[in-house]
Amino acid sequence: MESMDSVLKEKLLKLDATALAEWVKKNNVTSSEIVSLYIEQQKKVNPFINAVVEDRYSLAIEEAKSLDEKRHTYKQLPPLYGVPITVKESLHVSGMKTTGGLEHRQDLIAREDAPVITRLKNAGAVILGKTNTPALCFNQETDNRLYGRTNNPWDLTRTAGGSSGGEGAILGAGGSPVGIGSDIGGSIRFPAHFNGVLGFKPGMRMGSSAGHYPSATTPLQERMLTIGPMGRSVRDMELLNNVLFPHSTANRYLQFFKIEVLPGTINYPLTESTVTMMDSIEKFLTESFSTNRFIPPYFEESSQLWLEMLASEGSELIEKSAFHNDRSNFLKAFLREKLTNRSSVDPYLSMGILGSKLFKPSKSRVKEIKNILAQGDIILEEYLQNRLILFPVYHTGALKHGKVYKEIFSLRKTFLNFMPYVAYANVWGLPSLTIPIGKDELGMPISIQVISANGNEDAIFRLGKILEKKFRGYVPAQFTDQRQELE
């Protein structure tokens, strides 16, 4: 590494995964050099953001050397050959821990890879480490008793989002060119939005979520949970999506699509900068495409449906995982944490379990939800057949630590105001691409989602590339030592 020119180092740290793979293919750089460079970068930034919670640097260097030695045996190199990658802690990687951020799981080692991890390895990717999540991925902010809190690289006093917050933070800090997250309630899109990176939530049933902890426990949850890529470019999201879930996708040309932008006057919270961003996007797209402002079917119902679907079997399995052999119940643990700050279970998780119990739908309501979904799936399949819809991700950029949690996990049901933008794609099982578009009033990244029907991924990526080129796209955080801000 010492022999690599500093200008070359800087360039390699800015390239996306597609470009890095091309450099390796052309023998402009070795996998060993790239992997070592990104390990160096992670060691530089991670002490401040606490994103990577378990590394495998020694093994990664060995794997990179092996890839360099046997590259001549391939007629055509796999698409991610020699490219370093990070993955969310919730995914099983053989020989690494899958803890869910729980102290009593800190010694549990996965014996085999999740299917998506196997596909990544077969594509030539080199896993550097696993990234932080909230306890049992049950929060839109990333903090847990075992590993602690992850900070936003743009401002260490602000949230990195969740539940793929560690992934968003390390990508935003330039410590990884690409990564893998999961999403059941904005868990890829919140961190992508807050940290200024790209993220893609695939549609329902597009691939297996096996090897993810915790797993979806009901069919209603299964349609919402997907595993997907995060990174630096739309083309990387397209490439990784094809690697993770290989399937034939028809070309979908944009001239045959209507584009609908959610109105800025909608009766839901939106910052002025977000409204301005949406207006600018509409004005730009109107020059080339059939564009209007419209609220799609079922938008207003989606937040309530999302919560009830998530709580459809109550919180029994989550509670069992959280408390393990602790005979105290969640309420006692929550109160003990409030009074003494001495509970093995994160108070965010205890509050989430309480909410699930309180909002658990009745059997008749579950039946009603299933009927709504069956009807809605038919209506939206037709509605979105030749439509792309554009949503914000959240009403604002990254807030101070703890603020997003309070907005969403409130017994006053304030989630109804703040969750519809992300809940929509989960409830209806739709693919959604998150693209950084600009900055808010405080200089924090803000993003937009491009959503459509399953089967329209090609059109989503095509429009994403246009927006990425015209507007902000990925910009690494101007990372400086901000430790004094935390004191």
Q: Which residues are catalytic?
A: 88, 163, 187
The encoded tokens of residue 43 equal 């060691």
Bridge pairing between strands 198-201 and 432-439 = antiparallel
Buried b (16+ CB within 10 A) or exposed e, 200-211: bbbbbebbebeb
Contact 153, 195 (CB under 8 A): yes
- Helix H segments across 50-149? 57-70, 115-122
Alpha-helical runs (H) found in 270-346: 272-286, 302-310, 316-323, 330-340
Beta bridge partners of 400: 158
In angstroms, the CA 435 to CA 235 distance is 12
Look at residues 178, 148, 151 and name the one whose alpha carbon lies nearest to residue 165.
151
Q: What Cα–Cα distance (Å) separates residue 412 from each residue in 394, 408, 485?
A: 19, 9, 32
372: tokens are 């709504």
State the DSSP H helix or E strand holding residue 129, giving kind and residue range, or none if neither: strand 126-131
